[in-house]
Amino acid sequence: MNPFQPASGRSFASPYVVELAYRDDNPLVRLRPGENSLGAGLGVSIVLRGHGVLPRHGTLTVTSSGELHYTSEPGARAHVDGRPVRRAIVSDGSILQIGDDVLVVHRLEPGEDADEAPLPGLRGRSAAMRALARTVERYAAVDLPVLIHGPSGTGKDAVAAAIHAGSAPRGDAPFVVANVASIPRDLCESELFGHARGAFTGAERDHQGLLAQAHGGTLFLDEIGELPIDVQPKLLRALDGYGFRPVGGRSILRPRCRVVTASHVDLRRAVREGGFRNDLLHRLEVLVVRTPSLESRRSDVAAIAYGILSSSGYGMDRIKLAPSALEALVRMTYEGNVRELRNLLLRAAAMAKGSQLTGDDITRADPQHLGEFRVAVGAARAVELLEAAEGKLTRAASRAGVP
């Protein structure tokens, strides 16, 4: 009898997929019931190309009881969640490292499609990110306001861009982005609605506001909670279809655009404290997207880390992560989410003596050890960085991952 077929004789579907976290497109590959071979040779189920991968390196076996087992071939080395193993039971979110290649195991819910594309600009295929991608796909097709909630550093701007890109026919129309927190409060009304020439000192010509610039497309207002309370009624009226008059202007404009907003603060609390209008909040939160924190999707750390190294632009795309480095990265907490992970990883890569980061490199790059790090950079490493940067201090500091 086939050991991977129930006694009743009925076949079963495998709920497991593996994410090729080291690849730029971090695809999902569905595992078949029974044995799935891994390696660099011909005829294996999942082909790997990293340094140290044998022609047939190991096997992932999906049992009829719903377990997933990994078994290495003789002489093959592998790590599961940072531990060297010959055999192991692998669970949802486990990180399997074979040579330089890193795979993350995910267990799909019934009916989930392994072929669903990830969100552009966001890496990781955890359950939280797969759910986010499905939500964005649904909302992109509906021409309604969207409010994106989430902690700082969780990719709210990438979600807004994905909503715009998936909106037909707006996908090819303007996508206008503004961070409200960065606009001076006394210029906020002018930036949003525009102004006429001579409206105030320095207004030497007519200025088209953000709403008019986004006509036919999407306006993304990040940190909407920072919008001055006296400007909020005018935005509400514009969104309700009554139009607006530019500062110092006479004509009422009625440009049409989809408005997507984002905030890392609790806007309902801001309403209770008097800093945000309740009616404007109701107008903005017709559809709500919540971006998950990195802590809630630790299985994505590997894919994010490889994406950071490959796209950093500092010549770090050849740096690999030892099992101890991945284990340390997954274990750490990130109040700044992906942004904080990026800074930590670039600091560690700048410190490293070789082309592979270890757990010790990650620990030394932790902000708690920055004093030690600066001493290390201040000696021989600083000379090396400056020579590589042709004497340009700013470029050398960027490569070191420090201010």
pLDDT of 10 reads 47
Residue 2 β-bridge partners: none
Domain with CATH 3.40.50.300 in the chain: 127-290
Q: Can you name the CATH fold of 295-400?
A: Helicase, Ruva Protein; domain 3 (1.10.8)
Q: Which residues lie closer than 8 Å to 135 by C-beta, 6 or more apart?
A: 289
Helix, strand, coil shares, percent, the chain, to 5: 35, 20, 45
pLDDT of residue 307 exceeding 60, the answer is: yes
Q: Structure pTM?
A: 0.82
Whether the CB-CB separation of 325 and 344 falls below 8 Å is answered with no
Q: What is the mean pLDDT of residues 179-183?
A: 93
Percentage of the residues of the chain whose pLDDT score is greater than 70: 85
Q: Which of 36-50, 203-217, 293-307 has the lowest mean pLDDT?
A: 203-217
Q: Which of 54-68, 124-138, 286-300, 352-366 has the lowest mean pLDDT?
A: 352-366
- Can you tell me the distance from the alpha carbon of 295 to that of 159, in angstroms, rounded to the nearest whole number? 18
Domain with CATH 1.10.8 in the chain: 295-400
323, two tokens: 């099992």
Q: Which of 241-255, 348-362, 364-378 has the lowest mean pLDDT?
A: 364-378
pLDDT of 76 reads 95
- Can you tell me the distance from the alpha carbon of 303 to that of 305, in angstroms, rounded to the nearest whole number? 5
pLDDT of residue 259 exceeding 70, the answer is: yes
Domain spanning 127-290, CATH class: alpha beta
pLDDT category of residue 245 using cuts at 50, 70 and 90: confident
The mean of the pLDDT values for the chain is: 87
Residue 259 β-bridge partners: 219
Q: Is 269 exposed, middle or buried (0-12, 13-18, 19+ CB in 10 A)?
A: exposed
Q: What is the pLDDT of residues 35-79, one digit of tens each?
A: 999 999 999 999 998 899 999 999 999 999 999 999 999 999 999
DSSP result, 227-294:
S-TTTHHHHHHHHTT--B--BT--S-B----EEEEEESS-HHHHHHTTSS-HHHHHHH-SEEEEPPPG
Domain with CATH 2.60.200.20 in the chain: 16-107
pLDDT of residue 202 exceeding 60, the answer is: yes
Q: Residue 202 — left, alpha, or beta (φ > 0 → left; ψ -120 to 50 → alpha)?
A: left
pLDDT category of residue 198 using cuts at 50, 70 and 90: low
Q: What is the pLDDT of residues 321-353, one digit of tens each?
A: 999 999 999 999 999 999 999 999 989 988 888
- Can you tell me the distance from the alpha carbon of 3 to that of 62, in angstroms, rounded to the nearest whole number? 10
Q: Which of 269-278, 327-336, 389-398 has the lowest mean pLDDT?
A: 389-398
Can you tell me which residue has the tokens 């902000």? 367
Q: What is the mean pLDDT of residues 256-262?
A: 94
Instruction: Look up the CATH architecture of domain 16-107.
Output: Sandwich (2.60)
pLDDT of residue 384 exceeding 70, the answer is: no
**Between 337-351 and 323-331, two packed helices, what is the crossing angle to 10 degrees?**
150
